[in-house]
Amino acid sequence: MTTDLAVQPRRRTSIGRFWTSTIGKKAVMAVTGLALVGYLLAHMLGNLKVFLGAAALNE
């Protein structure tokens, strides 16, 4: 009889081990949080162009 492939355990790569660890999940959360804060700051600065006048806003 042949063995069923679904029964054999999968090997985890180093990225898979990193993702399943609590430190890995916290690192991913920190990186995505920093990206979202950067996005927020860029939009806030863009919205402040309203106070510079119509010429600056049309650039």
| pTM, rounded to two decimals | 0.60
Helix (H, G, I), strand (E, B) or coil at 38: helix
Per-residue pLDDT band for 8 (boundaries 50, 70, 90) equals low
Cα dist from 23 to 28, 30, 34, whole Å? 9, 10, 17
pLDDT confidence of residue 22: 92
Query: 24 near 18, Cβ under 8 Å?
Result: yes
Cα dist from 47 to 2, 11, 22, 33, 35, whole Å? 65, 49, 37, 21, 19
User: The tokens 């399943």 sit on which residue?
Assistant: 20
Q: Where are the domains of the chain?
A: 27-59
